[in-house]
Amino acid sequence: MVTMAVQEVIDAAGVMAQVSGSVRRDEGGLGRLLTSLAEAYVAGAPVDWARVFDGTGARPVDLPTYAFQRQRYWLRLPSAGSGDVTSVGLRSPGHPLLGAAVEPAESDGLVLTGRVSLREHPWLADHRVMGTVPLPGTAFVELAATAGDLVECPHIEELTMQAPLTLPETGGLDLQLTVSAPDETGRREIGFFARADDEIAAAAWTRHGTGVLCPAGPVPEAAPAVWPPRGAEPVELGDLYGQLADGPFAYGPAFHGLRAAWTRDRKVFAEVRLPQELHEQAGEYLLHPALLDAALHAVGLGELLDTGGQPLRPFAWNGVSVHATGATALRVTLTPAGANAVSLYAADGTGAPVVTVGSLLLRPVDVTEPGARPPAAAHSSLLSLTWTPVPLPAVGAVPWAVLGDRPSWAGPDSGAVCHADLDALAASVAAGDPVPGFVVLDPAAGGRDDDGHPAVARERAARVLESARAWVSEDLDERLAPVPLVVVTRDAVGTSADDPVTGLGSAPLWGLVRSVQSENPGRFVLLDTDGDPESGRSVPGAVASGEPEIALRGGSALVPRLSRMAVTELPDPTPGTRPGTGVRDSTTCPVRDSTCPVRDSTRSTRPARCS
């Protein structure tokens, strides 16, 4: 009570002080005194601890410099879109990477759909290959095994990747797995497809892999109880993941699973373990991809493979079976299985088999080759304009009109009829001449050659604006109302990096006519030509295509289309770090685009990588 009263007086006075009593009711003795001294010391009072602990043998010790261990107690929220799919006639496959299963009518096949993103599956961000985030090949194995379980064909006879599946930094990708009906032997073909999708537009589906599923294979025998095997020599791993992080491939914490390794003859034995943060997720997978990936990190140890220091690219899996689910640790045995191929046997702590791989074929890859780098993911919602080739319809001979001088690209046999101006054209139609199929206005024809002069741009813009007003006026002959006015420019737009814009005097017309088109759809056409005679002969087909904007290059037609922009990699002086963060990321050893730490036969500490 006295302590509290004194503290209240101090607080009321507005000063900084600490009150600590050395004796309390039912609490006294040396323990209470030491506690009071500690409270006073923390508050800033000087305490001679050497005298306090004199003769007790107590001594100062350093506190650990690492962060204190923390444990997350918040409930992990379900993935977006993981609601009740049965309400829309689907069923849930019960897998973190898959959202729904569809059984097509009149077919014994299966279609699995899902969505994968770094936001919903953040552990995937620890798998990077030269700055990109490809889906690990072990994730494809997991998906194939899951599909096989659903159709009672759990054995993966073969699995071959056709293209890397690169994840975008923002947004996600739609996944689709197709499983065919069984053949006469019970085998089923499986295909892996993905596309970027958002509220703007859906991209085309890309096939990333194919495989064959078949009924369950033989169950292997349990591993010997002795671990590590007798006669196996330990391998010093050192700072293996730190060394890999300094190169084009790196591993993040989710993929730091290789804990110990031994070699005997040409075999490699390894212990791998999921980080504690992923243990809860392990039960949601048949075999967590990060754990199986860690098993492949030992591929380059000892004399298992003679890589010559080259990075290796896993190409094809054969004879894969998952025998137990939810594992968080594995005892792995890797054995040579031919040229640049290994077989894998993984068991749990009791020796019971968890996963077996008959053979994994790996191919050397030169990281300096342009094609070695996985393609950048398309941005989920950033679009850019791309000039895309389109075929032109075949058109017969059709008369068309020109306002002003005949353009140089219009030959004498082109069917063009020249008129001095719009009034002359209207008079010709009123006199009974045929109505032209379209009317061309080329403001550069017969004009000044100094295309870059500002006065030229103003002169042409004024002429086009005057003609456009007359073309949409009520005074125009109604027989010309359905006829499009084609405003032609030359080299006024760039269709690619190799197509420079030299017609600067006509370039502003594109912005002007676009504004007119927005108010008068279907009445105007923008056409840019390169002056090639073939392009001149393609003008009638270009107008007949119905495109509001079109460019002719060498007789071929290009039209502007929106396409997703590739994610641009930010420059970073240290490969293997997240752009803009300085935080090291990682890659793994996927089927086609992963990394495996590989050491040469002398067991040096220099790692080679599997891309």
Reported CATH class of domain 258-364: alpha beta
Percentage of the chain exceeding pLDDT 90: 44
The SS3 of residue 294 is helix
The SS3 of residue 31 is helix
Q: Which residues pair with 557 in a beta bridge?
A: 390, 552
The SS3 of residue 387 is strand
The one-letter amino acid code at 155 reads H
Cis upstream peptide for 412 (omega within 30°): no
Residue 323: active-site member: no
Q: Which of 126, 293, 451, 528 is catalytic?
A: 293
Long-range contacts, 324-327 (Cβ 8 Å, 24+): 324/348, 324/352, 324/353, 324/354, 324/355, 325/283, 325/285, 325/286, 325/287, 326/282, 326/283, 326/285, 327/282, 327/287, 327/288, 327/291, 327/354
Q: What is the pLDDT of residues 284-313, one digit of tens each?
A: 999 999 999 999 988 878 778 876 666 677
Q: What is the pLDDT of residues 124-156, one digit of tens each?
A: 999 887 778 889 999 999 999 999 999 999 999
pLDDT grade, residue 397 (50/70/90)? Answer: confident
Q: What is the mean pLDDT of the chain?
A: 82
Helix extents (H) in 269-317: 279-282, 289-296
pLDDT given at position 26: 72
Nearest to 444 by CA among 398, 495, 496, 508: 508
Pairing of strands 353-364, 341-347: antiparallel
Looking at residues 318-333, what average pLDDT do you find? 94
pLDDT given at position 271: 94
CATH number for the domain whose boundaries are 92-214: 3.10.129.110
How far apart (Å, rounded) are the C-alpha atoms in residues 224 and 206? 44
pLDDT given at position 261: 93
Looking at residues 37-41, what average pLDDT do you find? 86
pLDDT grade, residue 577 (50/70/90)? Answer: very low
Backbone angles phi, psi at 181, to 5 degrees: -70, 155
pLDDT grade, residue 116 (50/70/90)? Answer: very high
Residue 453: active-site member: no
DSSP H or E run through 536: helix 533-537
**pLDDT above 90 for 552:** yes
**pLDDT above 70 for 475:** yes
pLDDT given at position 373: 57
CB-CB neighbours of 89 under 10 Å? 8
Nearest to 414 by CA among 404, 399, 428: 399
DSSP annotation of 608 reads B
Q: How far is CA 558 from the centre of its chain?
A: 29
DSSP annotation of 240 reads H
Long-range contacts, 341-345 (Cβ 8 Å, 24+): 342/299, 342/304, 342/305, 344/295, 344/296, 345/220, 345/223
Least confident stretch, 125-134, 178-187, 223-232, 591-600: 591-600
Diameter over CA atoms, the chain: 125
Nearest to 438 by CA among 410, 458, 462: 410
pLDDT given at position 544: 93
Contact 285, 95 (CB under 8 A): yes
Looking at residues 342-366, what average pLDDT do you find? 88
**pLDDT above 70 for 54:** yes
How far apart (Å, rounded) are the C-alpha atoms in residues 177 and 277? 28
Contact 101, 150 (CB under 8 A): yes
List the structure tokens of 40: 């006073």
CB-CB neighbours of 165 under 10 Å? 29
pLDDT grade, residue 589 (50/70/90)? Answer: very low
State pTM to two decimals. Answer: 0.61
Percentage of the chain exceeding pLDDT 70: 82
Least confident stretch, 216-225, 323-332, 383-392, 490-499: 216-225
Q: What is the pLDDT of residues 511-551, one digit of tens each?
A: 999 999 999 999 999 999 998 889 989 999 999 999 999 99
DSSP annotation of 135 reads P
Contacts of 169 (CB under 8 A, 6+ apart): 118, 133, 377, 567, 579
pLDDT given at position 222: 84
The one-letter amino acid code at 380 reads S
The SS3 of residue 304 is coil
How far apart (Å, rounded) are the C-alpha atoms in residues 154 and 179? 12
pLDDT given at position 573: 39
Nearest to 415 by CA among 548, 536, 545: 536
DSSP string, 216-264: --PPPPPPPSSSSPTTPEE----SHHHHHHTSSEEE-GGG--EEEEEEE
pLDDT given at position 51: 86
Q: Which of 95, 127, 288, 419 is catalytic?
A: 127
**Residues making up the chain, counted from first to last:** 611
**pLDDT above 80 for 421:** yes
Least confident stretch, 341-355, 561-575, 585-599: 585-599
Q: What is the pLDDT of residues 398-411, one digit of tens each?
A: 889 999 888 888 87
List the structure tokens of 30: 């040396």
pLDDT given at position 599: 39
- Residue 211, classified by CB atoms within 10 Å of its CB into exposed (0-12), middle (13-18) or buried (19+), is buried
CATH 3.10.129.110: which residues of the chain?
A: 92-214, 258-364
Q: How far is CA 354 from the centre of its chain?
A: 30
The one-letter amino acid code at 284 reads E
pLDDT given at position 239: 83
CATH 3.40.50.11460 fits 388-564, yes or no: yes
Contact 146, 286 (CB under 8 A): yes
**pLDDT above 60 for 49:** yes
Contacts of 514 (CB under 8 A, 6+ apart): 526, 549
**pLDDT above 50 for 85:** yes
**pLDDT above 80 for 65:** no
- Residue 223, classified by CB atoms within 10 Å of its CB into exposed (0-12), middle (13-18) or buried (19+), is buried
Long-range contacts, 420-423 (Cβ 8 Å, 24+): 422/467, 422/470, 422/471, 422/476
Least confident stretch, 1-15, 478-492, 494-508: 1-15
pLDDT given at position 71: 63
Contact 509, 464 (CB under 8 A): yes
CATH 3.40.50.11460: which residues of the chain?
A: 388-564
List the structure tokens of 48: 């001679």
